[in-house]
Amino acid sequence: MSQRIFPITMPKWGIEMTQGTITGWHAEPGQAVAKGDTLLDVETEKIVNSVEAPVSGTLRRILADVGATENVGALIAVFAAADVPEPEVDAFVTGFRPADTGFEPDGGSASAPAPASTPSPSPSSGDAAAKVSPIARRLAERLGIDISQVKGTGTGGRVSKEDVEAYAATLQSGGPAPAAAPTGGTTAASPAASAPTRERMTSMRATIAKRLLESKQSIPHYRLVIDVELTALNARRAALNAGSEGKVSVNDLIVRATALALVQHPTVNAQLQGDEIVKQPNADVCVAVASDAGLVTPIVRAADGKSVAQIAREVVDLAERARTNKLTRDEITGGTFTVSNLGMFGVDRFDAIINPPQVAILAVGAGKDRVIVRGGQPAVASVVTLTLSCDHRVVDGATGAKFLATLKDLLENPERL
């Protein structure tokens, strides 16, 4: 390192990023880390980014635990030479001031410009406040523990997170209980009594919430509903699955049909950017995938030019990586249309919220046996309900209806897929 102490700060990816949630550390305090090694994972928007160590050195402090959400530029860790004394690192942490983060960085570096000089230990750096790590202090506050009662086992008696955890465990094993938070006047209950739990939104969930709220409030949604008979489509799927190109699902066939319909109706295959309607030449279809962290919509690029088997393989890969937070930013950015399928959960029909800047989204229900009229006679057939949500600023009713009619025709005549 060119300096004895180096700050690790919450990186910034994209102009709109203001916070990130730490999902994992790959090093521990005291561990030597080489420049370029994976240091931590940060969740932002709909993906998890791996952050590489910007310098080589010893990780001396971790200031944000797994699960913590920090602002861009916030100090989350400190590298320092092994011979830098603890009070000097404490003083650096206390005196650190985040750099201006109102710009687009050139990559995933977790470093920010350090102060012009490394602050020297102040006379008060050896007092009680300086001998408590920031993580330990936050943990004690969260547990209702008087930090002054915790004995530090670190250098110079410094209190670490582990010391707080050990103290909390001692209390739970028979010592006096930490002060409990106010219960709003409820009567005393046994320790096993049920109580509400609070869980802070992750960056991904917060971003989803913000964008869906904006979509619902700012986009004039309207819906068009159509029923599609699946008899021929199910037969087509069975024939494809009997071949050697791999298994396909009904949803893969729907994605393929949707892509072909989109290129025939470019107004639906568009994005609204400011006051411009940008019609795309290819159908980049987003496929909604449920993950533990929230809804993710990876993109099947140019699906209109891919076979059903190709789409099936790509969707399996994208869905698996979506559930394990392995998608790249390019794989979730720039789609022209979204297909959301809840049929596998037995949902008959539902309304989906448009994912801006897209101008429409297709909600797919469950294919179920229903009584239909065929040739003037009642018959039983598998039928699915499709609901198209449209942005009325771009997609007029007739345009949306024509798109659905084309999609229905393709699905009921799947030899063209």
DSSP letter for each residue of 205-264:
HHHHHHHHHHHHHHS-EEEEEEEEE-HHHHHHHHHHHTSSS----HHHHHHHHHHHHHHH
Contact 268, 338 (CB under 8 A): no
Judged on CB neighbours under 10 Å (0-12, 13-18, 19+), 146 is exposed
Cα 139 to Cα 62: distance, rounded to the nearest angstrom: 13
Q: What is the DSSP annotation of 30-61?
A: T-EE-TTSEEEEEEETTEEEEEE-SS-EEEEE
CA distances from 135 to 90, 93, 130, 167, 322 (A): 12, 12, 12, 15, 31
pLDDT score at 105 = 40
For domain 204-416, give the fold. Answer: Chloramphenicol Acetyltransferase (3.30.559)
Per-residue tens of pLDDT for the chain, all 417 residues:
447 899 999 998 876 678 888 989 999 999 999 988 999 999 876 678 889 898 889 999 999 998 888 888 999 999 998 889 999 999 999 999 886 544 444 444 454 444 434 444 443 444 455 578 767 777 787 777 888 888 887 766 778 777 887 787 777 655 544 444 344 444 444 455 567 888 777 767 777 888 888 899 999 999 999 999 999 999 999 999 998 888 999 999 999 999 999 999 999 999 999 999 999 999 999 999 987 767 889 999 999 999 999 999 999 999 999 888 888 888 988 899 999 999 999 999 999 999 999 999 999 999 999 999 988 999 999 999 999 999 999 999 999 999 999 999 999 999 999
Burial of 140 (0-12, 13-18, 19+ CB in 10 A): buried
Nearest to 222, CA basis, from 404, 408, 410:
404
Classify domain 5-131 by CATH number: 2.40.50.100
Q: pTM of the predicted model, to two decimals?
A: 0.65
Buried b / exposed e over 41-70, threshold 16 CB at 10 Å, is bbbbbbbbbebbbbbebbbbbbbbeeebbb
Helices assigned H by DSSP within 265-367: 308-323
Side chain identity, residue 250: V
Going by DSSP bridges, is the β-strand pair 360-364/377-391 parallel, antiparallel, or unpaired?
Answer: antiparallel
Rounded Cα distance between 403 and 283, Å, is 13
Q: Are 114 and 92 contacting, i.e. CB atoms less than 8 angstroms apart?
A: no
User: Which residues does 98 contact at the CB level (< 8 Å), separation at least 6?
Assistant: 9, 71, 73, 74, 75, 112
DSSP class of residue 107 equals S
Instruction: Compute the CA torsion angle 180, 183, 185, 188 (nearest 10 deg).
Output: -60
Domains of the chain by residue range: 5-131, 204-416
Which tokens in the block code for residue 260? 């072909």
123: left (phi over 0), alpha (psi -120 to 50) or beta: alpha
Active site residues: 392
Condensed to tens digits (0 to 9), the pLDDT of residues 212-241 reads 888 999 999 999 999 999 999 999 999 999
CB 388 within 8 A of CB 224: yes
Q: Is the bond preceding residue 357 a cis peptide, omega within 30 degrees?
A: yes
- What's the pLDDT at 173? 56
